[in-house]
Structure 1
Amino acid sequence: MSADETRKSSGGAAGEEASLLPAGHPLREELYGESHARPFPVVSAPVRISHLAMLADPGEAAAHRARLEALAAVHGVAPPPPDTMAWYAAFPGFTVRWERHTEFCTYTFLRPDDHEVPFARTAIDVLPQGWLASLPGALLVAVHATVVAGEPPDPFCPELQAQFDGKMVVGSRIVDDRAVVWTSLQLHGDGFARYLVCNMGLNDFQTGRTVQRLLEIETYRILALLGYPEAKRVWPRVRRLDMELARLIDRLARTDGPTSEQQLLMELSGISQAIEHMRSDTNYRFSATRAYMAAMNRRLEDLREHKYPGRSSITKFLERRMRPALDTCDSVDAHLQDLSLRVARATEALRARIETSIEEQNRDMLESLNRRSLQQLRLQQTVEGLSVAAISYYLVGLLNYGLKGLEKAGLALPVEALTALLIGPVVLGVWWLVRWRRNRINARHN
Structure 2
Amino acid sequence: MAPITDHPLRYKLANELHARPFPSLSAPCSAVYIAIKQPNDAVSRDRAQDLAHLTALLDRHGAPHPQPGATHYYGQIGKHWLKWEQHTEFVTYTAFSETIYERPFDPAQFDVFPSDWLEAAPGQRMTSVLLHIEQQPSDIAEVSTRLDDWFVSESLAVSEVLDQAAIVAGDFRIDQNGHLRFAVFAKPETGTRRIGRIVQRLCEIETYKTMSMLGFARVRALQPKLNDLDTKLTGLMSDMSDEDAPAEWTLHNLLAISAELETLSAQSSFRFGATGAYEALVNQRIAALREARYQGRQHFGEFMMRRYAPAMRTVHSAESRLEAMSSRSIRASNLLRTRVDVERSAQNQSLLESMDRRSDLQLRLQRTVEGLSVVAISYYAVSLVGYLIYPLTQATGMSKGMLTALATVPVVLFVWWMVRRLRKSVE
Do these two structures clear the TM 0.5 threshold for a shared fold by scoring above it? yes
Kindly report which structure 2 residues correspond to 1:226-245, keeping only aligned pairs within 5 A, or say none: 226-245=214-233
- Separation (CA, whole Å) in 1 of partners of 2:368 and 2:166: 110
2:152 and 2:171 in contact (8 A); partners too:
no
Of 280, 291, 296, 1:305 maps to 291
Tell me whether 1:203 sits opposite 2:191 in the alignment.
yes
Tell me whether 1:333 sits opposite 2:319 in the alignment.
yes
Report how many aligned residue pairs link the two structures.
Answer: 421
Corresponding residue for 1:346?
332
RMSD between superposed Cα atoms in Å:
2.8
Report the 3-state secondary structure (helix = DSSP H, G, I; strand = E; otherwise coil) of the residue aligned with 2:25.
Answer: coil
AA partner of residue 45 (structure 1): A
Tell me whether 1:426 sits opposite 2:408 in the alignment.
no
Corresponding residue for 2:370?
384
AA partner of residue 302 (structure 1): A
Report the 3-state secondary structure (helix = DSSP H, G, I; strand = E; otherwise coil) of the residue aligned with 1:254.
Answer: coil
- Separation (CA, whole Å) in 1 of partners of 2:9 and 2:197: 28
Corresponding residue for 1:11?
none
Report the 3-state secondary structure (helix = DSSP H, G, I; strand = E; otherwise coil) of the residue aligned with 1:202.
Answer: coil
Tell me whether 1:46 sits opposite 2:28 in the alignment.
yes
**Alpha-carbon distance change, 396 to 129 in structure 1, aligned in 2, over 3 angstroms:** closer
Tell me whether 1:189 sits opposite 2:176 in the alignment.
yes
Report the 3-state secondary structure (helix = DSSP H, G, I; strand = E; otherwise coil) of the residue aligned with 1:315.
Answer: helix
- Separation (CA, whole Å) in 2 of partners of 1:382 and 1:156: 115
Report the 3-state secondary structure (helix = DSSP H, G, I; strand = E; otherwise coil) of the residue aligned with 1:21.
Answer: coil
- Separation (CA, whole Å) in 2 of partners of 1:352 and 1:228: 38
Kindly report which structure 2 residues correspond to 1:284-295, keeping only aligned pairs within 5 A, or say none: 284-295=270-281
Q: How much identity, in percent, do the aligned residues show? A: 36
AA partner of residue 364 (structure 2): R
By how many angstroms is 1:66 displaced? 2.3
By how many angstroms is 1:127 displaced? 4.4
By how many angstroms is 1:366 displaced? 0.6
By how many angstroms is 1:183 displaced? 1.4
By how many angstroms is 1:399 displaced? 2.6
2:136 and 2:143 in contact (8 A); partners too:
no
Report the 3-state secondary structure (helix = DSSP H, G, I; strand = E; otherwise coil) of the residue aligned with 2:198.
Answer: helix
AA partner of residue 170 (structure 1): A
CA-to-aligned-CA distance 1:197-234 (integer Å, 9 cap, x gap): 12224322222222211110011111111122221222
2:254 and 2:329 in contact (8 A); partners too:
yes
- Give the alignment's TM-score, normalised by structure 2: 0.88
- Separation (CA, whole Å) in 1 of partners of 2:81 and 2:131: 14
**Alpha-carbon distance change, 253 to 128 in structure 1, aligned in 2, over 3 angstroms:** closer
Report the 3-state secondary structure (helix = DSSP H, G, I; strand = E; otherwise coil) of the residue aligned with 1:239.
Answer: helix
Higher mean displacement: 110-119 or 187-196: 110-119
Report the 3-state secondary structure (helix = DSSP H, G, I; strand = E; otherwise coil) of the residue aligned with 2:241.
Answer: helix
By how many angstroms is 1:358 displaced? 1.1
Of 209, 216, 219, 1:221 maps to 209
Structure 1 alignment gaps of length 5 or more: 1-13
By how many angstroms is 1:347 displaced? 1.9
- Separation (CA, whole Å) in 1 of partners of 2:100 and 2:317: 48
By how many angstroms is 1:303 displaced? 0.5
Structure 2 alignment gaps of length 5 or more: none
1:227 and 1:285 in contact (8 A); partners too:
yes
CA-to-aligned-CA distance 1:281-308 (integer Å, 9 cap, x gap): 3222222211111110011111100112
- Separation (CA, whole Å) in 1 of partners of 2:162 and 2:349: 78
Higher mean displacement: 137-146 or 329-338: 329-338
Report the 3-state secondary structure (helix = DSSP H, G, I; strand = E; otherwise coil) of the residue aligned with 2:97.
Answer: strand
Higher mean displacement: 120-129 or 389-398: 120-129
By how many angstroms is 1:256 displaced? 2.5
AA partner of residue 19 (structure 2): A
By how many angstroms is 1:277 displaced? 2.7
Corresponding residue for 2:38?
56
AA partner of residue 22 (structure 2): F
